[in-house]
Amino acid sequence: MRFSRVSTPISAPWFRSCELSSLEYRCSEIVLKVTDEIGGKWVLTFAELQATKVTTEECAGEILEILPEGGGAVYASETSDWLSFLGKGQIDFLSRSRHFVVPCYDEVVEIVAWEFQVTVGD
């Protein structure tokens, strides 16, 4: 299972750089609001949501151990164990899905969705 860092404008020099301020489900998407290392406010919207998991940072060691070093706000994989468990390769709509990881200071949010976008928050 390999994850790669996804390029975003969010300042995150280490995996606990962002503070999660809210998480909201909206129909087939999930919206995270985070504050980055330098105080920037960001909204991450993940569309065509299939699954989500939120774990305390202290209990998320397994996923954190396989993320690339050097920081980042969002990581992604197209071949994770979770995607396989959900049925990627057998269920058609999962063919476009990616496993995203958003590590925050106290929580680690994992999301299976088709895509995401980052916008400036308020």
**pTM listed for this prediction:** 0.95
Is 113 inside a domain boundary?
yes
Give the chain's domain count.
1
29-41: pLDDT as tens digits: 999 999 999 999 9
7-29: pLDDT as tens digits: 999 999 998 899 999 999 999 99
Is 122 inside a domain boundary?
no
Domain that holds residue 64: 4-117
pLDDT reported for residue 111:
98
d(CA 118, CA 104): 15
39-70: pLDDT as tens digits: 999 999 999 999 999 999 999 988 999 999 88
DSSP state of 104: B
Is 40 inside a domain boundary?
yes
Is 104 inside a domain boundary?
yes
